[in-house]
Structure 1
Amino acid sequence: MAAENEPAHWKPGRRMGVDVGKVRVGVALSDATGTLASPLETVRRAKDKSDLDRLAGLVVTHDVVEVVVGLPMHLSGASGSSARDASAYARALASRIGNVPVHLVDERLSTVTAASHLRAGGIDARRQRSVIDQAAAVVILQSHLDARPAAGPDSEGRHS
């Protein structure tokens, strides 16, 4: 499992974003170019770890080349029990998916951002419950995708 700030070779392919909660896990998937994140599904956490098996299955089904797991840090930068849980979850997932790298990325305020986007899209708080985890996974994955340096023959001279 790689740390957030480790340099990684950007290889083409789909990436999966994961928002780990105590009850549910939100999952997002990028397009094949690794440019745009979209919600995929919400998986209920299970004592028998079948949720991890489901995520491992999604990695195979969608030919995922990298998994990004949100690391919920406190605003101060300190880590708490949720960060420890997400780290343990990422390690358990990594042990199920072979050579597909799993990265932890700072996800401070991802759920707040996701809720704001959903409200802006006209989804009220009651209806958000079923999709907030997926939306947070999208925020986590999209911020990871956007943070990558442009690469390839068409990236020269491109400014964002």
Structure 2
Amino acid sequence: MTDSAVPGAYPQGVKLGVDVGTVRVGVAVCDRDGILATPLRTLDRNAKKNTDVAILAKLAVELGAVEIFVGLPRTMKGEEHASARMATEYAKLLIGKLFEAGSEVPVRLVDERLSSVTAHRNLHQAGMSSRDHRKVVDQVAAAGILQHAIDMQKARGTDVGSRVSADLPPGPTGSGDRAAPAVNTHSAQRILHKTEGYSEPGQQ
């Protein structure tokens, strides 16, 4: 489902970018003004227990994230295959974990056709050996996904990507509404502080 374009209709604040892989999941964050996306961390994918999804949902709540962008892998022809279905299912799982945490942060799928390729190139240009790439490449790819999304939001003056919906149980009133969770300000400031001063490889 894609939201209709309404000028200025996109949230302002901290946002997360997610690069989903079969082994690792990269996470990136942007500042409250939506200027720069920076790599944040890499999670080990646990398809059986989905512990990584729970960690990501908790992270979003602690940071007070207003939106999460999950990369949707497409072929150069714009086709969607197994990896795209995996990203979509991951986004739905994330919505469920957010709901359990008392959050209704919107999760949107955005095109990530060349994010991994660009991430590897940036790391190579930064002088990092190919052997060390896999330690950070997923979070750098996530930063590329998020940067593209926030840049497009500003350029178009509206939200981008496709919002993901999931079948969730109704809230206490039966309407599906839930109170917004309290933000752990200390944790959010600590995590954001770690990202200050970071420049993506190749960007000085």
The change in CA–CA distance for 1:117 and 1:149 in structure 2 (over 3 A counts) is same
Q: Kindly provide the amino acid, as one letter, of the partner of residue 123 in structure 1.
A: M
- The 5 A counterparts of 1:43-54 are 43-46=43-46, 47-54=48-55
Q: Name whichever structure is richer in strand by fraction.
A: 1
The DSSP-based 3-state class of the residue aligned with 1:26 is strand
Which residue matches 1:141? 146
Query: Post-superposition shift, 1:61?
Result: 1.0
Per-residue deviation at 1:127?
A: 0.9
Aligned to 1:104: 109
Where is the helix percentage greater, Structure 1 or Structure 2?
2
> Residues of 1 paired with 2:121 and 2:154: CA distance?
27
- AA matched with 2:83: S
> Where does the alignment leave 5 or more consecutive residues of structure 2 unmatched?
158-204
Q: What is the rounded CA distance, in whole Å, between the counterparts of 2:94 and 2:119 in structure 1?
A: 24
2:97 is aligned with what amino acid? R
- Could you say if the C-alpha distance between residues 53 and 122 of structure 1 is closer, same or farther in structure 2, counting changes exceeding 3 Å? same
C-alpha contact (below 8 Å) 2:11/2:67 kept by paired residues: no
Output the TM-score relative to the length of structure 2.
Answer: 0.70
Identity level (%): 45
Is residue 2:64 matched to residue 1:63?
Answer: yes
Partner of 1:130: 135
Distance of 1:70 and 1:6 partners within structure 2: 20
Which protein shows a greater Rg?
2
Residue 82 (1) aligns with residue 87 (2): no
Describe the superposition over 1:62-107 as per-residue Cα deviations: whole angstroms up to 9, x where unpaired.
Answer: 1100000000001111100000000000011012223210000000
- Taking the aligned partners of 2:53 and 2:132, their CA distance within structure 1 comes to 26
- TM-score, normalisation: structure 1: 0.88
- Label 1:33 to 1:73 Cα distance change in 2 as closer, same or farther (>3 A): same
93-102 or 122-131, larger mean C-alpha shift: 93-102
- 2: CA distance, partners of 1:91 / 1:11: 20
| Letter in structure 2 aligned against 1:43 | L
- Give the unaligned 5+ runs of structure 1: 152-160
3-state SS in 2 of match to 1:136: helix
State how far apart, in whole Å, the 1-side matches of 2:138 and 2:44 are: 11
**Whole-angstrom CA distance in 1 between matches of 2:107 and 2:67:** 6
Calculate the aligned-residue CA RMSD, in Å: 1.5
2:97 counterpart SS class: coil
Q: CA deviation at 1:6?
A: 4.7
- Residue 7 of structure 1 corresponds to 5
Q: What is the CA–CA distance in structure 2 between the aligned matches of 1:32 and 1:138, rounded to whole Å?
A: 15
Deviates more, 1:63-72 or 1:27-36: 27-36
2:115 & 2:79 partners in 1: Cα distance? Answer: 16
